[in-house]
């Protein structure tokens, strides 16, 4: 049970750090606008942001 919680927490932190690494050098906010496709700009659905799935 504990391994699953730690793994899920690690995936969530990794996903957030990926957002920071991508957006901060470009001068974008890490909060708004919501996640979007870097190529076409279309917004992503909530389940597209779930790590690994």
The pLDDT value recorded for residue 53 is: 56
Q: Is the peptide bond before 40 cis (omega within 30 degrees of 0)?
A: no
Q: Which parts of the chain register pLDDT below 50?
A: none
Phi, psi (rounded to 5 degrees) for 43 = -65, 145
Task: Give residue 31's domain range.
Answer: 2-49
The pLDDT value recorded for residue 51 is: 76
The pLDDT value recorded for residue 50 is: 82
Q: In the chain, how many domains are there?
A: 1
The pLDDT value recorded for residue 21 is: 96
Contact 9, 51 (CB under 8 A): no
Nearest to 46 by CA among 36, 19, 24: 36
The pLDDT value recorded for residue 38 is: 85
């Amino acid at each position: 049970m504990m391994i699953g919680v730690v793994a899920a927490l690690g995936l969530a932190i990794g996903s957030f750090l990926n957002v920071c690494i991508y957006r901060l050098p470009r001068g974008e906010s890490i909060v708004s606008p919501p996640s979007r496709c870097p190529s076409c700009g279309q917004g992503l659905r909530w389940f597209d942001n779930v790590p690994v799935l």
